[in-house]
Chain A
Amino acid sequence: MAPKASSVLDEIVAVYRLERDLLTIAARAIRKTAQPYLVGTGFVGRTVTDSQNDVERLRSRLDEMTVVALWIEFERFLVNHVLSQLHVLGTAPPPFDVQLGAHVEHQIEFSRFDDLLDLYKGWIDSNHIGNVKQIKDYRDWVSHRNPKRPTPAKVDPAQARAILGNVMDAIAPSSARS
């Protein structure tokens, strides 16, 4: 059976879970001030509280960057899907057909992503498209932290994986990675 389109997100998820586990191990070693495990690290000489706070900050940052990574994969998937739906005019003479295809491809590659998402209205329910746009807003905030823009709604990696993966599977139910 062909893999689900959303399976490309699973490698990101696997790395995320491993990194979360490593942080849990570090947190336990810090809590117990387990010197054999902490020797040679920057935690030596620091208070338990400060070290725990650092681990907590790193955990939050890991969540944010994982959502960004999931978004990058999803964005590439959607652009490729739109491109794959192009049907070059069968009656167009060469080389016009190739040049037209290249022109449209270029326009799609540089379109505003919200405009590409709007192409799927009526196919994907509008609430779901709204959720995807909110994830994009969160990704933008993580990446740029623009103080002039309002604080977006937050999302954690598992939620992002579910929402983005559902769209990918709805659009291309049994396609391999495009």
Chain B
Amino acid sequence: MEMDQDARRQQFLGRLSELLSDLRTWAAADPRLTAALREFAIDDPFGHYTAPGLEITITGERLASVVPVAAVVIGAEGRVDVKGPIDQAAMLYLSGPGRTETTIEGVSAFRRDLFAGFEAAGWYWMLDSFTPHRAVRRIDADAFRDIVLSVSDYEITPSR
């Protein structure tokens, strides 16, 4: 049975909470960083509501903001942006590779996945590629470090 809007919004918030927990853990590996929770306003097809995000700072200076954007995005099931002083990166929640197919008289004539690099349901970094297969990279500690570097020129350095 298709989930109603409230259930889908709660599902997004649950997945968001897990993502933020991971990001805080990875940021905490660098003793110079502070990752504080803050609320952000969301306006999407599910309505107006608030959702948690992060403000990542270094010696009081903003390094990056992890901003929940929407529970409903085209082609995916949630979007969170990492915004820094230099650039911003998008993270989407994917449940599948986004298989699209065309048929002629019932026979498959064209088949292409929207996302290349999909492994399993979870959060993915949308790489800056404009090929028919959108290259994605699963969010892990290394990917998060590369994202922060790309948006802020700062490299997370875990303490030894």
Contact = CB atoms under 8 A, between A and B. Distances in A.
Contacts of A156: 90, 126
A165 B134 CA distance: 11
Nearest to B44: A151
Interface string B109-120: 110101000000
Contacts of A138: 74
B73 A155 contact: yes
B87 A27 contact: yes
Contacts of B130: 10, 13, 17, 157-158, 161-162
Contacts of A6: 132
B interface residue count range (under 10 / 10 to 19 / 20 to 34 / 35 or more): 20 to 34
Nearest to A14: B130
Given A151-B45, A162-B133, A162-B134, A31 B74 contact: no
- Which of A155, A166, A171: most chain B CB closer than 10 A? A166
Contact of B73 (A30, A127, A154): A154
Contact of A127 (B88, B100, B103): B100
A124 B86 contact: no
Contacts of B72: 153
A33 to B, nearest CB: 12
Nearest to B108: A125
- Which of B74, B85, B86: most chain A CB closer than 10 A? B74
A interface residue count range (under 10 / 10 to 19 / 20 to 34 / 35 or more): 35 or more
B73 A153 contact: yes
Interface string B80-103: 000101111010000000001111
Contacts of B79: 154
A124 B102 contact: yes
Contact of A158 (B73, B83, B103, B126): B126
A76 interface: no
B102 A123 contact: yes
B74 A163 contact: yes
A170 B128 contact: no
Interface string A100-125: 00000000000000000000001111
5 contacts: A151-B44, A151-B45, A155-B73, A159-B126, A166-B112
**CB-CB nearest 7 A-B residue pairs:** A170-B110, A155-B74, A170-B102, A13-B130, A128-B100, A153-B72, A134-B74
